Amino acid sequence: MRALRVTTAYLAACTVFTLAWPIIIEHAPMLLLFAAAAANSIYSMVWATRISSTLAREHELRTYDLLSMIPTGAFGAGWTLSTACLHHDTLFQRLRLALQLCAAAVGTALFIALLLPLVMLLTPNSPVTFGLFLLLNYGVMLAVAFYLDHIQSLTLAHLTGMLAASHIQNRVTAQVWSTAGFLLLQLLTYLVTLILGFVLLPPLLQALQLDSAFIHSILPVMRVLILYAVHEVMVFIVWRTLLHHFNTDADDAQMLLATASQI
pLDDT, residue 119, reads: 58
Q: What percent of the chain has pLDDT over 70?
A: 69
Distance, CA of 15 to CA of 8 (rounded, Å): 10
**CA quadruple 224, 226, 229, 233: dihedral sign:** negative
Evaluate if residue 76 carries a pLDDT over 60: yes
Q: Are 188 and 235 in contact (CB under 8 A)?
A: no
Comparison of pLDDT for 189 and 126, the residue scoring more:
189
Give the pLDDT of residue 256. 63
What's the gap between Cα 262 and its chain centre? 27
pLDDT tier, 247 (very low <50, low <70, confident <90, very high otherwise): confident
225 has a pLDDT exceeding 90: yes
pLDDT value at 99 more than 70: no
Q: Give dist(CA 59, CA 227) in Å, integer.
A: 36
Residue that wins the pLDDT comparison between 209 and 18: 209
- C-beta of residue 48 within 8 angstroms of C-beta of residue 13: no
Whole-number pLDDT of residue 93: 61
What's the DSSP call for residue 69?
A: T
Q: Which residues contact 75 (CB under 8 A, 6 or more apart)?
A: 242, 243, 246, 248, 253, 256
Is position 234 within any domain? yes
Q: Is residue 223 in a domain?
A: yes
Residue 246 lies in a domain: yes
Amino acid at residue number 60:
E
Residue 8 lies in a domain: no
Task: Determine, yes or no, domain membership for 50.
Answer: yes
Long-range contacts, 241-250 (Cβ 8 Å, 24+): 241/163, 242/75, 242/159, 242/162, 242/163, 242/166, 243/75, 245/163, 245/166, 245/167, 246/73, 246/74, 246/75, 246/78, 246/166, 248/73, 248/75
pLDDT at 100 over 70: no
Q: What is the pLDDT of residue 96?
A: 64
Q: How far apart are CA 185 and CA 191, in angstroms?
A: 10
Residue 50 pLDDT > 70: yes
How many structural domains does the chain have?
1
Q: What is the 3 state secondary structure string of 119-180?
A: HHHHCCCCHHHHHHHHHHHHHHHHHHHHHHHHHHHHHHHHHHHHHHHHHCCCHHHHHHHHHH
Kindly report the pTM of this predicted structure.
Answer: 0.79
- pLDDT at residue 14 is higher than 60: no
- 92 to 23, 25, 99: CA distances (angstroms): 34, 32, 10
pLDDT at residue 6 is higher than 50: no
Lowest mean pLDDT among 37-41, 107-111, 249-253: 107-111
Looking at residue 31, what is its pLDDT?
Answer: 73
Mean pLDDT of the chain: 78
- Three-class secondary structure of residue 89 per DSSP: coil
pLDDT tens readout for residues 158-200: 999 999 998 888 888 999 999 999 999 999 999 999 999 999 9
- pLDDT > 90 in the chain, percent: 30
Please state the rounded mean pLDDT for residues 5-13. Answer: 55
Task: Read off the pLDDT band of 105 (50, 70, 90).
Answer: low
Judge whether 5 lies within some domain: no
pLDDT for 51 equals 92
Within a domain: 235: yes
Q: Quick one: pLDDT at residue 178? A: 94
Task: Give residue 168's domain range.
Answer: 27-260
Q: Using CA atoms, how far apart are residues 243 and 166, in angstroms rounded to an integer? A: 11
Higher-pLDDT residue of 163 and 127 is: 163
Greater confidence (46 vs 24) lies with 46
pLDDT of residue 177: 94
